[in-house]
Structure formats: structure tokens, C-alpha cells
Structure 1
Amino acid sequence: MNPDVFFENFELLADAPNGVQKLRELILQLAVMGKLVEQDPNDEPASVLLEKIEAEKKRQIKEKLIRSESFAPIKEDELFFKIPANWEWIRLGQIGDWGAGSTPNRKNPDYYDGTTKWFKSGELNDGYIIESEEKITDLALKECSLRLNKKDDVLIAMYGATIGKVAILDTEATTNQAVCACTCFTGVYNRYLFFLLKAYLKYFASQGAGGAQPNISRIKIVNTVAPLPPLAEQKRIVAKVDELMSLCNKLEARRQKKQEIQSKLNSAALDRMLSAESQEEFEHHWQRICENFDLLYDNPENVGKLRQAILQLAVQGKLVEQNPEDEPASFLIEKINNEKKKLVKEGRIKKNKSFSSIETEEIPNELPKGWTLEYLRNIVLDFQNGTSKRDSSAGEPIPVLRLADIKSGKLCENSVREINLTEKEALNYRVDKGDILVIRVNGSENLVGRFIPCVINRKWAYCDHLIRVKLPADCIDQHYLRIYAESSEARSHILQKTITTAGQKTINQVGLGSLPVLIPPLNEQKRIVEKVEQLMGLCDELELKLRKEREDSGKLMETVVRGLLEGAVPEI
């Protein structure tokens, strides 16, 4: 691919997923491959430059300014990619004097709080550095294995999480042992070396892998094979990199500004929708969001805010109209109480302790007409934890639902395991269509307390990581209860009632039962469920569209990268 195509589509590529960061990496890769600027036949070839560097090196060795060091010839299989004819492959040790630092003994206070700057690897910032967090004394310089680095020396971090980080000294300074410094020989532009090392970041990281703490050594660095352009081209490369990195900064700032504006517009649109006073007003605001979706959203992950707004509207009674002919929810509470008394008398459920209901004066005045508020424990028939059995020879094999059988908030039939249960156990832990399973324990705060409706009519049981919630027939719609449990108020209450033990978060029956639930008339529950499913389906479509656009943008970036870096190895 012609690099001109790259420059012409620069801003378009920046819109790809993580596009600006990929552009920065690509710029550096093109730079060290000789594809960022044109070669000038009038430039003094790098081969002549190398001869001059070798002569300077011999002089410095003779004057005992640096130590003599030899390097193995470069083999064909060490070359990463093709380079221009007037470039040369070198080992990094050939183009500068490299040396690592050290840490003076911490137990000796006479070594610290001096005037000489002493940098640690964590202070390298991929730019110029001038002020260090700590300083050492002249005594430390004299007695410890420290190298006093010159202004304009190039630094690279060799240990741990900072491996491959670089900086240029804007002052005379020393470093600790986790940093290696290079004083470039005449003819090597220190800022070209700086960008070269940044381009080699992934390579150095791969070289440091394998140990408990990743690290590279001075020996590995000085023996690394790298391309050397003519000095004049080094300077042109640096100027071009500076220009393009500045453009990247502007594109990134513009994107951040765009995201800030989108966030404000999105919040305003959702606020208007949440404050809708009528079904007609809601539909109007919803339509405006759909019409301006591209303006409000460019990230599929942000659609979550829209989904949460829909749930919020649903449990506030603003998603569908109230019908005065619907039987009020207060009648449902009476039916539930009568049903529970009947089942207790028949011995089908246990008689629970007497729990208080929400007092009339505690019910908010702004509740939609026909709605009521009641604790979860008072609107369900019973709670039951699942079986703790993992293996048994007694009984018959029964499929037992586990956390692994829950995917995206739904029960999956594909890989349900069987456990032998007695007839009594199978009946006690049976989950029926219309029940809800609640995740009782999980390491993730995002999953504990989630409601999973059982819509499958099977003779299944469930494990003790789950709580079965048995609902009264024709009073509480299981899908409405799940919608309510997903609302921000319900999730907040559930998480407040969880306890954490050994990294596992747990909600018990008492905590679950104390959840206040807003209850609409049964017919309205069903209308809410239908409307939520419809709107969530539209969210799915919009989210899919965004993901497709992101995927297409990513493919474009990959195509451009492949075309520009043809012949390069993945590490560089």
C-alpha cells in the first residue's frame, strides 16, 4: 500500500476502535521501516555514518572514556523487515555507550538527599524528564556503582510493569538498576533512538517474558538488531513523527470532546424521557432518541444507559398507560395472602414467621393509580435454597441446574448435569415453569442477586448457589419481577443486603425478602413486559448496528496496517 493512502485516510483510521493508539504504534513502525518519509539519494549513506561512528568509538576507547565491546555479526534470520538501500542494520550497542544504574544502600543516610538527580524506572514518561523524586549525594556517586548520565541521554526501563518505557534526560542525572541509559555517538540523533526504542516496545516486552518479574538486561538491549538511517533522514523521520503525533493528540482531544458532548446530550435525552408525564410524551422522547442514535451513541457499551432508563420507566409506571378497568394491585395482595393460607393448611408450604407489611403511610403518594408497594417476602409463596449434594449413589439421576447453566440471564438446556436425588429431594428442590431462580452466591457483584425466570417445563432441580422463588399463580408475572429486580433501586437494595466471605458475595432469604417491590395490576405487568421486550429488541438492533460499524472500522484499520507493514514481523 502506498503510504500516501495512509496519510489521506489518517483521520478516518483514527475513528477505528482504539484507533488513535493504533495510529501512534503504526507511525513508529513505519518510521523504523523507512516508509514514513522519502529517501534522498543525496544523503550520506548509513554505511559511511557507521564508519565514522566506529572511528569515534575507537578514539573514545583509546582515551579510556568508554570500554571496548565487540558484537557478533548480524545474521539474515535476525532481520525483522526490509530496509531502504542506504540504511544499515546495526546492533544497538554499536551506536552509543550504554550503561545501567544502581540503588545506593538505603541504610546509609549519607547517600541520599543530595544534589544529584536519581531516577527510578517508574519515573520514565515517554518524554523528557528533568526533576527526579529523589536525589543522591556526591558520596553515593563516589562509593556506589552509579553512572552519571549526560543531558540528552536516552533511557529505557528494564524491569516489571514499566519494561520498555523510555525517556530523554533534560538534565544530568543517575538512575537505579532498572534503567539503562545510552549516550549516542556522533551521527546518531538521540530522538531517533528514542522513537526506535518506542517502536520496539512489544519486542522488548516479549524478550522479558518468562520470569516471575519480566525483565530485560543491558546485554539484551545492546545486542538487539535495529535499522539505522542516514543522519539527515533520522532528522526528517523525527520531524514527521512529531507532526503526526501532534495530529494524533488533536484527534484524541477532538474525540474526547465529542464523547463529552455525546454524554451530555445522552443524559439530557434520557432525563427528558424519564421525566415524561404521559405515554404520548414518552413515545415522543423515545422516537427522538432513535432518530438521533448515531449522534447520541457511537459505542455499543453505552447502550446500557438506555436499557437502564427503559427499566426505570417501566417500574415507575411511565412505560405504558394505566387502565382504570384493571384490577388494582391491592386486590392481588389479598389473593396472595389467601393462597398462602390455603397452601399452609394443605401442608404444601410451611407457615412462615409473621412479617410486617409496608404501612399505608409508607407508600409513596406518587405511585401510579392501581399500584402498591410490598416486601418481596409477602408476595411470594416461599423461598428455598437448592441442594448441596454434588454426588450420590442413592436415588435417581435428576438434572440439577448450576450457575454454569445460566447464560445472559437465561437458563440453558445444553449441558445440565445430573445428580442422583431421592424422591423426596427431587420434590423439595424441583423448579417449575413460572418459578424464579435467584443467584444466591457468586464472586461477582454484578451477578449475585440476579433473577432468572424459569420458562422451561422440565423435571429439574437446582443447586445451593441458587434460591428458588415460587410465585402465586395469576398474581405476579415472573418477567415483570425480573424487570423490577434489574432496576437501579432494586439492585442497590440487593447489594446492600449482600455479605462477603472469602471473596464470595452472598444474599440470603431474609435479605432477599426485604426487597420492596412496586406492584402494578396484573394486566399492566403483562403490558410492561411486552413493552420492555419490544424496546430492548430495538436496543439490540441499534447495538448490533454499532458493533457492525466498529467491526468494519477495525477491518479497515487491519487492512491498512497489513498493506503498510507487509514483511514486518509481529513483534515490531
Structure 2
Amino acid sequence: MNGANLLAHFDRLADTPDAVARLRRFILDLAVRGKLVEQSSDDEPASILLDKVAIEWIRLQEEGISQRGRSIPVLGENDRPFSLPISWKFVCLGDVLQMINGRAFKPTEWLDKGLPIIRIQNLNNPTAPFNYCDPSTVEERHRIRNGDLLISWSGTPGTSFGAFIWQRGDGALNQHIFRCMQVGGAYDPRFLQLAINSQLDVLIAQAKGGAGLRHVTKGALERLVLVLPPLGEQHRIVAKFDGIMALCDQLEAAQQERGYCRDRLASASLQRLSLPSNSNTPAAHHEYVHFLLQHLPLLTVRTAHIKALRLALLNKAVRGGFSEGASWTLTPQPLRTVAALQNGYAFKSEWFTPDGVRLLRNINLSHDVLDWTDAVYLPATRVDEFQRFQLREGDIVLSLDRPFIATGTKVARLRPSDLPCLLLQRVGRFVLQADLLAADYLFLWIQSPHFNDQVNPGRSNGVPHISSKQVEAAEIYLPPLEEQHHIVGKVKELMAVCDQLEAQVVRTQIDSRKLLDMMLDQALGITRDSSKSLFERNPSNVPMTGHKQEKAPRYMTKNSTMTADQLIECIDDLGDLATPERLLRHAGLSEDVEFFYDLLRVARNSGAVIAPLGTTAAIRRQSNAN
């Protein structure tokens, strides 16, 4: 399949995650491979341009103005990353550019007004505020004017690196940015920007430093291999490329609008599903259910839609929605009439020992799971003093701090492997009247929006917190015990269907990614090792951020409800205790450490978290203030 056919049929793959971003990258690849516009015999070949560059270098050296970098290699056949049209050439960046690094302005030099200091954030974000300096203190070589080509060479891979053409007025060049001047005028500035940015993955692979903050040396930049087309063809490529990017903008906007409409339709449909049973006539309810089932594929194209469907079904179940012909009255009553929530004991930290009986803390409790990796202990000899707080198999425990997280309510049931353990403060245990309330039914209700909507967490020492009185005051629908068991069984069946839907959504996303990758490779004439999986192949033709996001679906095969955004919510849940190791366990992804770190990098690269990956240092969520 060639590029034209791919573009003609792209609408079939338009819903693939990151499809437009990949299309943009594909167009860029076509542009720098000589496949976007036709070559013309009337164009002056690149070899003539290089002759002019060589003459200009000689002049600059003779006049003592500048010296060509000594580390720039002579390119051979093995240095050609792909084939080029006959009139094109490969060059090293240092062959055609002089680079001047910015100045390290001190905070004491910052002013409220004056000459804007151009920092990396001002390149990446047009709305980022400027610092200012006294213009009289800035040398001419550090002055920036409209049309200057700038290269940021330090920061976070995938967000900070890149070539930019400055168009926002005069400014002062900050450190970690090169101002670039062409030697010999071989490039259209816009095409030069595209040529550099097409090789960012190669450049970032050579970056030095830690995972969060890396930098590229000047020598590495000078050795970066670029394509050089005839100048006339460069102009045509730029015009064609920018025109297609404008169409991509329109396509992206249309996709966002379509996604917004689909999300509204899904939300409205599920909201109706969540209505109490007595708000619809049987005929109207039957008609709606038929509509929902008929359009389910359109309403569940993302895992977030499946999560919303689960909650809607759960909400329907605990409000009598699955009790056809029920004889019980649909009138809720306070939970305290059938159950109490026992608070844990305030064990003193000086009592803790390296071993003994575990204490169930908030940090050990997540949605439907207990994690004892980070455990504290009370001496076994003291257990008898706290018999009232000994937990038993099947007990339902609820976190009173940060009770609601992205994956659901922080509620779980005790397993045999969790015992023995004692109940610590800020965690509550439900004590039920077993003849009136089934534990399985209570467990469903606690996870439903019907419960969550009735309990509004306040703040305790800055942490969202609920009290046992709030929980006991929440109203619960109480069908007969037999009907409660029937509802539990029905919900299990429906959740199994949701599991199948979610698995299908994930498989579809992965398959569509693979198909799109294959089509892009075929259009570019790239052959990959078929013996390797999609995620093991050489990413040299995929942008850094896109390549990292490729691995996100692999997580979803392990824990399909966990996405990068949900990881960020888990950071909120862990608070000041968040570290890479704790977050990994808290997210339930401990089997795939490497994939977990790739997904966390996606969140970090989006600017949402500050994560010194590979260390035990705390992970922080990026706030608006930061």
C-alpha cells in the first residue's frame, strides 16, 4: 500500500488512539524522504548547495569569524539511514549550522519588565510567562529576533527537545537553547526545522543524564544526520506539509467533537439506566434496554466507557433495578439500622516492631485489594489487649482517608492470607445484622455511586476524610435477604459481560495500532523483523512520546482499568508516601515493572507528574501552581 492509498483509507483507522499524531509523523517522514512532492529536473541539486556551503566555511575561517566543528564526520554509505532521491544529499547538522548557546541568567537578574528571557517553556508553550532582564546587559550574540532558528537541547525527552522558529519579538537567549545561523544558506528555515525534528528520536537516544532531565551535547547535535533536498523542492515540501498539517488540525478537531458527542451520548444513556426502577414504565424500560444493547458497540469504544457502564449497572442493581416484580418497598433507610462502622484503634508508632501481627492501615487498602508490602507490626504478645480490633475472614473494611480514588471506593474484604491483623485508626470495619443485610450486597452498595453520592469527604489535615457517622447515615435499599443474594448473582453475571466488553475494547485498540503501524511501514517502505513483537521493534521511525504511549495498552491487558490518568489519581491517593515502588504496587501492576515505568513516563512527559524514575524519591503530582 502506498502513501496515497493510506491517506485515502485513513478514515477507517481514524479512531485508533493517537491516529492523527501518527498521521502527522507519517507526513513528516514522507517529507524528509522525498516522497511528499515530485522532484523536478529544473531544481538546482543539493550538491551545488553544498559547494556554496563549503565556500562560505572557507570565508568564515579565513576572516577568523568561525571554525567548523572538528568532531563532524565525513558521511559514508553506512551512515545513510534510508535511500534518497538522486538530487538529495545527507549532511551533518554541524556542516550547515553555527550554534551559539544561551546565557545562564541568575534569578537576581530577573526583572518585572524589560527584554523577555526566552526559556524552553516559552518555546513549548506560547502562553508561558516570561522572565525579563535589562536589555543593556545582553550581548548581541544572545539577542533573539523573529525568524531565528532555536534548538532546545535539555529537559524532558518527548516534551523539551526540538527545533523552533521564533516569531514572538525580540528576546534574550537563555541557557539550554542554541541559536542557529546557517552557513551558505542551503536550507529553507522551515524545512530545516522539519528535518531536525524528524530526527529527534535519534537525538534523544544520545541524550545524557537521568530519566527526568537529560541533555544533548553540542557535538552530538553537530553529528546529527539531516537530509538536504534542492532548495526549490524544499519550498514545495514546506507548502505541501503545512497545508496537510492544517487538514490534520481540522481532522483532530472533528475527532475531538465526535468523541465529545459520543461521550455525551454514552453519559446520557447510562444516566437513564441509573434512574430508579419506578421512574419508568415497564414498556419504556424495555424500549430503552433494547436501544442500549443495539448501540452498545458505539457507546463502549474506550475503557472509560466500560467503567461508567459498570457503575451504572451497579447503581441500578442496588436501587431495585434488577428485581422484577419485587414485593419489597423501594424505600431506603439509614445504614445504621442494619450495620455499624467500627473505627480502628490509634496504635502508637512507638509500639511498632519489625515483626508480629500486622496493623491494617490506610496505605494497605485500595479498591478491592489489600497490599501488605508496606506493613507495620504490633508484638504478638500484645494481641490479646486488642481483641475488639482483631479482623476476621470476610470482614469488609473501608478507608476513611481518601475513600474514593480513580479505580473506585477504597473498600476490600479480608482473605485468609490477610490474617492475623488488627484494625488501625482511619480504617473502619462493618459490623452487620446478618439476618437483615448480606455482606456481599453491602460490598456492592459501598462501591456504587448511590453510596458515593451520599458521602461528601471533608478535609482532615488536608486529606479527604469521611467519618463513621457519615457512612452510617447513608441510606441503603434493603430488599429481603434472598433478593439481596439474587441481586449479587445478577451483578456478577453483568460484570463478567463487562469484562468481555473491556477485553474486546483493549484488543481492538491494540489491533488497530498494529494495523496502522503496518500500513505506515508499508507506505514508507520499511521492513521490520516479524519475529519480534510490535513493542520490541526498532522505534527509530516513531517519535519518542508516541513510542512510549504504544506500551500503554500492554498494561491494559494486565489491569485494563488502569491508565496514565488513573495512575495520577493513585498518586493523590498515596499522598506524601508516593514512590515508584509504592505506586506500582498500589496500581496492581507489580508483575510488569518495565511496562509500568513506560506508562508512568507517559504521565510524566505530559507534565502531569514530577517523577524521578528509578529512585525511591517521592513522586509528586504537578499542580497548577507549579
Q: 2:150 aligns with which of 144, 150, 155?
A: 155
Q: Which residue of 2 aligns with 1:309?
A: 312
Mapped to 1, the partners of 2:341 and 2:113 lie a distance apart of 69
Offset of residue 57 of structure 1? 3.2
Q: How far apart are residue 390 of structure 1 and its match? A: 8.1
Answer yes or no: is the 8 Å Cα contact 1:372–1:520 preserved in 2: no
In structure 2, relative to structure 1, the CA distance for the partners of 1:380 and 1:151 (3 Å cut) is closer
Return the offset for 1:553: 0.6
* 2:93 corresponds to 1:92: yes
The separation in 1 between residues aligned to 2:505 and 2:112, in whole angstroms, is 56
2:398 aligns with 438
Report what 1:123 is aligned to. Answer: 122
Report the secondary structure of 1:155's partner residue.
Answer: strand
Aligned partner of 2:52 in structure 1 is: 52
SS for the counterpart of 2:56 is helix
Residue 304 of structure 2 aligns to a residue whose secondary structure is helix
Q: TM-score normalized by structure 2?
A: 0.69
Q: CA 1:25–1:57 in 2, change beyond 3 Å: closer, same or farther?
A: same
Give the Cα separation in 1 of the matches to 2:235 and 2:13.
Answer: 26
Ranges in structure 1 where 5+ consecutive residues have no aligned partner: 327-368
> Could you say which residue in structure 2 is the equivalent of 1:192?
191
1:184-333 pair list within 5 angstroms: 184=182, 185-211=184-210, 213-275=213-275, 276-321=279-324, 323-324=326-327, 326=328
How much does 1:190 deviate?
A: 0.6
**Are 1:279 and 1:319, in contact at CA under 8 Å, matched by a contact in 2?**
no
Which letter maps to 1:89?
A: F
Letter in 1 for 2:451: A
Change (3 A) 1:52 1:10: farther
Matched, 1:178 2:187: no
Cα offsets for 1:376-417 (capped at 9, x unmatched): 4x42367374998987888xxx9999999989626899xx99
Check conservation: 1:315, 1:484, Cα contact below 8 A.
yes
Alpha-carbon offset, residue 73 of structure 1: 2.0
- Name 1:355's counterpart in structure 2: none
Q: Give yes or no for contact 2:366–2:411 (8 Å, CA) kept in 1.
A: no
Residue 291 of structure 1, CA deviation: 0.8
CA pair 77-460 structure 1, distance change in 2 beyond 3 A: farther
Contact 1:83 1:227 in 2 (8 A): no
1:203-246 Cα distance to aligned partner (Å, 9 max, x none)? 33343341473233444323322222222332333233223322
Question: Is 2:81 aligned against 1:81?
Answer: yes
AA matched with 2:176: A
- Root-mean-square deviation (Å): 4.4
Asked if 1:528 is matched to 2:529, the reply is no
Shift of residue 135, structure 1, vs aligned partner: 6.1
Aligned partner of 1:29 in structure 2 is 29
Give the match's secondary structure for 2:67.
coil
Partner residue of 1:164 out of 158, 161, 164: 161
Please state whether the residue corresponding to 1:519 is helix, strand or coil. Answer: coil
Q: Say if 1:254 and 1:281 are closer, same or farther in 2 by CA, change over 3 A.
A: same
The change in CA–CA distance for 1:426 and 1:459 in structure 2 (over 3 A counts) is farther
Structure 1 stretch displaced more, 473-482 or 382-391: 382-391
| Greater alpha carbon shift after TM alignment, 517-526 vs 420-429 | 420-429
Distance between the aligned counterparts of 1:132 and 1:392, measured in 2? 51
Alignment coverage as a number of residue pairs: 515
Q: Which residue of 1 aligns with 2:500?
A: 541
Question: Cα distance, 1:427 vs. partner?
Answer: 7.5
**1:488 corresponding residue in structure 2:** 449
- Is the alpha carbon distance of 1:472 and 1:432 closer, same or farther for their aligned partners in structure 2, counting shifts above 3 Å? farther
TM-score normalised by the chain length of structure 1: 0.74
- Partners of 1:135 and 1:390 lie apart in 2 by 54
Q: Secondary structure at the match of 1:182?
A: strand
CA shift in 2, pair 1:418/1:29, >3 Å: farther
Q: Residue 481 and residue 131 in structure 1: after superposition, are their counterparts in 2 closer, same or farther (change >3 A)?
A: closer
Q: Distance in 2 between matches of 1:178 and 1:386?
A: 54
Tell me the SS of whatever aligns to 2:143. coil
Between structure 1 and structure 2, the one with the greater Rg is 1
Q: 1:305 and 1:186, CA in 2 relative to 1: closer, same or farther beyond 3 A?
A: same
The residue aligned with 1:570 is: 539
Query: CA separation in 2, counterparts of 1:498 and 1:526?
Result: 36
Secondary structure of 1:180's match? strand
**Deviations along 1:117-159, whole A, 9 cap, x unmatched?**
6532212149xx8999466665234xx4743345422112233
- Give me the whole-angstrom Cα distance separating, in 2, the residues matched to 1:41 and 1:496: 72
